[in-house]
Amino acid sequence: MSIDPTDPRPPSRQIADELREQIVSGALEPGKPLPSESVLVGTYGTSPTTARQAVRLLKEEGLVVSERGRGVFVKKQPPTIHMGSARFSRKTRAEGKAAFEAEIEAQGRRWGQEILGLEDVPAPRWVAEWFDIEPDTTVFVRRRRNWVDDEPTQVADSYYRLETVADTAIRNEDTGPGGSYARLEEKGLRLERFREEIAIRMPSPDETKALRLSPGIPVAELRRIAFTADGPVEVLTSVVAGDRHVFCYEFPAPE
């Protein structure tokens, strides 16, 4: 193997692209070491600096990780978390399980949740728009981080009008069996539909820390609105690790 001088890609990119193909194809398996710098220099007839640049590109893409004193290894991809619309079923709440909890347990995995904050706060503009209230109107927010198999997978904030959560366990750390949606329906706020919007982006430094993301890993920012017949009762924003989730939806074909 050698660098193609007629290729418009820089030498480091040529090396990185070839190594990526080997990783994606499985020729370089997860957990296995990447060829050392000296091997890359000998294989491609390039300089150590170029070899290091190629490895850096793969690190930035989240494909390889460095282990101090051992070398660079192909990253082990965590098991995928499938997120389907069935998690919002009334049957799930009747069984005393919150939506995310039911989804994870159905996959035979362990679920945990950490409450990061329970606060009355000024409504962000996009939340105020859904609730049809003035921006900065005081609303209640539940901030939390969800864990799967002892690994953080998402951080989420749920916003409610103050009158919606008054005298409910939604204001407590433990919302009780079935989670917040069960408490809303106990109050007579029957949930009729949900809307989800998903955007893919790179994480902020705080999100990288909270989700323990490797360099180059994007996040999916999900915004979900829960509706009764009279309008939205919960507005949620959730940031999830992009390398650990697949969103799965089934719905009838529209007429």
Check pLDDT > 70 for residue 1.
Answer: no
- For residues 67 and 95, state if they share a domain: no
Query: Would residue 253 count as lying in a domain?
Result: no
Query: Would residue 3 count as lying in a domain?
Result: no
The CATH number that applies at residue 66 is 1.10.10.10
Cβ 60 vs Cβ 75: under 8 Å: no
Check pLDDT > 80 for residue 83.
Answer: no
Read off the amino acid at residue 147.
W
Identify the domain boundary among 74, 108, 128.
74
- For residues 21 and 90, state if they share a domain: no
Read off the amino acid at residue 146.
N
The CATH number that applies at residue 107 is 3.40.1410.10
Residue environment code for 41-76, b if the CB has 16+ CB neighbours within 10 A, otherwise e = beebebeeebbebbbebbbebbbbeeeeeeebbbbe
Query: Would residue 29 count as lying in a domain?
Result: yes
- Structural domain span for residue 27: 11-74
Worst-scoring range by mean pLDDT, 5-9, 114-118, 138-142? Answer: 5-9
- For residues 94 and 28, state if they share a domain: no
- For residues 100 and 190, state if they share a domain: yes
- For residues 19 and 86, state if they share a domain: no
Mean pLDDT of the chain: 89
Instruction: Give the residue among 71, 75, 81, 55 at the shortest CA–CA distance from 63.
Output: 75
User: Looking at the DSSP assignment, which residues form a beta bridge with residue 222?
Assistant: 198, 238
| pLDDT tens string 199-234 | 999 999 999 999 998 878 899 999 999 999 999 999
Sign of the CA dihedral running 107, 110, 114, 118: positive
Query: Would residue 206 count as lying in a domain?
Result: yes
- For residues 92 and 114, state if they share a domain: yes
Return the axis-axis angle of helices 179-186 and 99-106, rounded to nearest 10°.
Answer: 140
Q: What percent of the chain has pLDDT over 90?
A: 57
| pLDDT tens string 240-251 | 998 888 888 877
Looking at the 3D structure of the chain, how many domains does it have? 2
CA distances from 60 to 70, 78, 158, 213, 221 (A): 19, 18, 32, 11, 20
Q: What is the pTM of this model?
A: 0.76
Check pLDDT > 90 for residue 122.
Answer: yes
